[in-house]
Chains A and B, each alone.
Chain A
Amino acid sequence: MKALILVGGYGTRLRPLTLTVPKPLVEFCNKPILLHQVEALVKAGVRHVILAVSYMSDLLEREMRAQEERLGIKISLSHEKEPLGTAGPLALARELLTDSEEPFFVLNSDVICDFPFEDMLKVHQQRGREGTIVVTKVEEPSKYGVVVYEGDTGRIHRFVEKPQVFVSNKINAGMYIFSPAMLRRIQLRPTSIEKEIFPVMAEEGQLYAMELQGFWMDIGQPKDFLTGMCMFLQSVRQQAPERLRTGPGFLGNVLVDPTAVIGDNCTIGPNVTIGAGVVLEDGVRVKRCTVLKGAHIRSHSWLESSIVGWSSSVGQWVRMENVTVLGEDVIVNDELYINGANVLPHKSITDSVPEPRIIM
């Protein structure tokens, strides 16, 4: 089986992290975002993953070669010369996707959940139509495009963009399974699958919905990245609690890479991910944060709701909060207060940032 992952462009929404690392390789809960998806696909029987990318990165190519070997699968990069939207990349990869009659998966690359690929395949085959899309329940449907479908059969009637009156609380979760026949609908030009393809398929009775169980999050922006991390760690707590760190100094769900070094009298958690080779000196307090590979947090600092970029260094008695994101190799001097800053890579911060802003 095959899967197409819509990786897209520069990942601007996740800047400053994506200024130095392609978005698919940014670690989410200590694993590159893309690998969360790829590994779940492999588990469901996928043997060929096609990444639809609109800009090429040596780093990404090299990493994918390594993953091909590790997972024993084929990973192709399908490069768009111009951005083709969410449907165009399917046309570009048409030959790869139609060399058998098997259905194939299509995913948005920013989605984190308990991936239901095996269920999708089963449901799709039972229904025997051209497409099945996963939907997930949201609290505020008025902010999204919602999907209206028959509860018992799953047949989709229509899509309503940002509904002002309640019509449904289910939204497109960005995960699809299609039969190859569906590809005849798509031409090689910039096309939105959600706006131009799905409504037609729904009208013709070829598009069905499957409701997702459990958590779901689009982690394309730092704020949602952190929310998604909390959800993911909670699901680890339920499914594999032994992966979480417990004991004195650890509160709630905390994921720590075994190579990280944590000093005395620290309090870590709830909802913290500590990457490989990270050093937390004595007396550090961290909650609701991701600390990426190789970062160093010096003693007595306090961090909440922040992402510390790779190899960054945070000084002593620093207070960092309110979705502060440090890019790669940022240095924060001692005793500063950093409130909601977005700090570009390789910057050295010498003054407090009392109000949210971007540090170029």
Chain B
Amino acid sequence: MLKAVILIGGPQKGTRFRPLSFEVPKPLFPVAGVPMLQHHIEACSKLPNMKEILLIGFYQPNEELNRFLSCAQQDYKISIRYLQEYAALGTGGGIYHFRDQILSGGPEAFFVMNADVCSEFPLPEMLDFQKEHGDSYSFIILGTTANRKQSLNYGCIVENEKSDEVLHYVEKPGTFVSDIINCGIYLFTPEIFQHIGEVFQKNQQDMLLYSYEGEEQSNGWHRAEVIRLEQDIFTALAGQGKLYVYKTDRFWSQIKSAGSAIYASRLYLNQYHKTHPERLATNTDGGPKTRGNVYIHPTANIDPTAVLGPNVSIGTGVTIGAGVRVRESIILHGATLQDHSCVLNSIVGWGSTIGKWARVEGTPSDPNPNDPYAKIDSETLFRDGKLTPSITILGCNVNIPSEVIILNSIVLPHKDLNRSFKNQIIL
């Protein structure tokens, strides 16, 4: 049997996702109409031997997470549990801490995946790949090809081209090492815990040593339990004949910034043609006009003269007036777009209102469409002291008056704006 672990992080993480992560844990942010995590869970639940999905993170138990978990358990008929870390233990420390939970029932293998990626999740292919490699106890990293420049922002993998064995692993190198990058999705056998355990032991010894030398050890990252899979485990396992890379050319992206949520939505909406055609809106008499892939929650109230798409997701209870235009955007639940307003490359927060003829517009941060290996830049908010033009984000309960333009701006929650803003963060 199989299990899966999804690393969901905690509230201190995902700051690049602010102000949206103030309202909802980032893993529950809707991408293509459903919580980010649901895409992972659905992919796992399709594996016939999958018995349990464990979420590991350091969020306090909360109602939204609980509600999501119970719904997902019913929908996908699989056990899903949340295991809360007492502190941020890193990608390796978390699974090591909960190794008994993961191993109970005796899975022969388990997946570990980061919550903040969007992917076609080629999990069956990873399992087959593992079997094809003589050593069925090998560990598999899902890898994909990036361009040379962007590879520096990821974990880079050098492989033996014949055997796909990982010969070298380095996280975010300063200079080019390899264009094969780590997708943050792994297939492990229980033996991985021996390797993590060794690091844990070594950390403990190091700490004793440091404390004799009078070094500071109170800093969280100097805890013995804090272990990073990438730097601490993969780097050591590379070249040992245990670690392999399965390369995929299917869609994959990180979801670090809010801008990448719009890009990830596009990828998933496109996948819905195969997996969930019922989630894609179609043009019907009396319904709004849609162009390309659009998700509309059934509870949304949309004027038939509105034009939506491509790549638009409309949440629950959203109201959209006459002659409204929405393109490349996510409209979160309870938002209202009044007549003739225009929303482009933006995320409109929960319960926000956009006045008549207002224009809310951002700049897409899409990967270069002419480079097949380009990834979305996990951009920094500022460059040369200036706000980089990015998608426009309205936090929850923001009011945009009629006829103004909000361009390339981030508006924090509960603001009533009274004029146009461009290239600003509005506190």
How many whole Å from B292's CB to the nearest CB in chain A?
14
**Complex Cα distance A319/B422, Å?**
14
- CB neighbours (8 Å) of B405 from chain A are 319, 321, 337
Q: Are B323 and A335 in contact (CB under 8 A)?
A: no
> Which residues of B (391-427) have their CB < 8 Å from a CB of A?
403, 405, 407, 422
A278-304, CB under 8 A of B: which get 1 and which 0? 000011010000000000000110101
Contact in complex: B322, A319 (CB < 8 Å) = no
Is the CB–CB distance between A337 and B407 below 8 Å? yes
Quick check: is A265 within 8 A (CB to CB) of the other chain? yes
A residues within 8 A CB of B407? 337, 354
Contact B342–A299 (Cβ < 8 Å): no
B334-369 CB contacts (< 8 Å) to partner A:
339-340, 342, 344, 356-357, 359, 361
Expressed in whole angstroms, the Cα–Cα distance for A317 and B344 within the complex equals 11
Contact across chains for B403 and A283 when beta carbons are under 8 A apart:
no
**In the complex, which residues of chain B have a beta carbon less than 8 angstroms from the beta carbon of A316?**
325
- Are B359 and A337 in contact, with the CB atoms below 8 A? yes
For A, the interface residue count at a CB cutoff of 8 angstroms equals 15
> Is there contact, CB below 8 Å, between B359 and A319?
yes
Q: Are A319 and B323 neighbours in the complex by a CB distance under 8 Å?
A: no
In this complex, how many residues of chain B approach chain A with their Cβ under 8 Å: the count is 17
Inside 8 A of B327's CB, which chain A residues have their CB? 335
A304 to B404, CA, bound (A): 11
Complex-state Cα separation, A261 to B332, whole angstroms = 38
CA distance A302 to B355 in the complex (A): 13
Complex Cα spacing A285 to B340, Å: 9
Q: Do the beta carbons of B342 and A285 come within 8 Å of each other? A: no
Q: Known contacts A265-B339, A337-B359; decide if A282 and B403 are in contact (CB<8 Å).
A: no
Given A302-B359, A319-B405, CB of A335 within 8 Å of CB of B325: yes
Q: A302-B359, A319-B342, A335-B342 are in contact. Are A285 and B323 (CB under 8 A)?
A: no
* CB-CB nearest in chain B for A284: B340
Report chain A residues within 8 Å CB of B357: 285, 300, 302
Contacts of A302 in B (CB 8 A): 340, 357, 359, 403
Say yes or no: B359 contacts A299, CB within 8 Å: no
A335, B344: Cβ atoms under 8 Å?
yes
Q: What's the Cα separation between A282 and B342 when bound, in Å?
A: 15
Is the beta-carbon distance between B359 and A283 smaller than 8 angstroms?
Answer: no
Complex formed: what's the CA distance from A285 to B361 in Å?
Answer: 18
Q: Which residues of B, 303-343, contact A by the 8 Å Cβ criterion? A: 322-325, 327, 339-340, 342
Which chain A residue has the least Cβ–Cβ distance from B358? A302
CB-defined interface of A320-345 with B at 8 Å, one 1/0 digit per residue? 01000000000000010100000000
Indicate the member of A283, A285, A299, A317 with the most B CB atoms within 10 Å.
Answer: A317
A321 (CB) vs chain B CBs: closest residue = B405
Bound CA–CA A335/B328 (angstroms): 12
- Could you tell me the distance in whole angstroms from the C-beta of A26 to the nearest C-beta in chain B? 28
User: A321–B359 Cα gap in the complex (Å)?
Assistant: 12
- In the assembled complex, how far is the CB of residue B105 from the closest CB belonging to chain A, in whole angstroms? 54
Contacting residues, chain A, for B323 (C-beta < 8 A): 265, 282-283, 299-300
Q: CA–CA, A36 to B342, complex, Å?
A: 40
Cβ B325 vs Cβ A300 within 8 A:
yes
A300 near B361 with CB under 8 A, answer: no
With a cutoff of 8 Å between Cβ atoms, the chain B residues found around residue A282 in the complex are 323
Cα-based distance from A283 to B303 in the complex (angstroms): 14
Q: Is the CB of A300 within 8 A of B340?
A: yes
How far is the CB of A282 from the nearest CB of chain B, in Å?
A: 7
Residue among A282, A302, A321, A337 with the most chain B CB within 10 A?
Answer: A302
Residue contact A283 to B339, C-beta cutoff 8 Å: yes
Distance between A357 CB and nearest chain B CB, rounded to angstroms: 15
- Give min CB distance, A299 to chain B, whole Å: 6
Name the distance in Å between B416's Cβ and chain A's nearest Cβ: 21
Encode B12-39 as 1/0 by CB contact (under 8 A) with A: 0000000000000000000000000000
Check A265 against B361 for contact (C-beta < 8 Å): no
Contact partners of A285 in chain B: CB under 8 A: 340, 356-357, 403
Docked complex: A189-234 residues within 8 A CB-CB of B: none
Task: Contact check, A265 vs B322: say whether CB atoms are below 8 A apart.
Answer: yes
Q: Residue of B at shortest CB range from A302?
A: B357
Tell me the nearest residue of chain B to A352, going by C-beta.
B361
A30 to B285, CA, bound (A): 42
Return A126 CB to nearest CB of chain B, in Å.
Answer: 52
Contacts A285-B356, A335-B325, A337-B359 known; 13 new A-B pairs at CB < 8 A: A265-B323, A265-B339, A283-B340, A300-B323, A300-B325, A302-B340, A302-B357, A302-B403, A317-B359, A335-B327, A337-B361, A354-B407, A354-B422
5 A-B pairs with least C-beta separation: A283-B323, A317-B342, A300-B323, A317-B325, A300-B340
Q: List 12 A-B contacts (CB under 8 A).
A: A265-B322, A265-B339, A282-B323, A283-B323, A285-B356, A300-B323, A300-B357, A316-B325, A317-B325, A317-B342, A319-B359, A337-B359
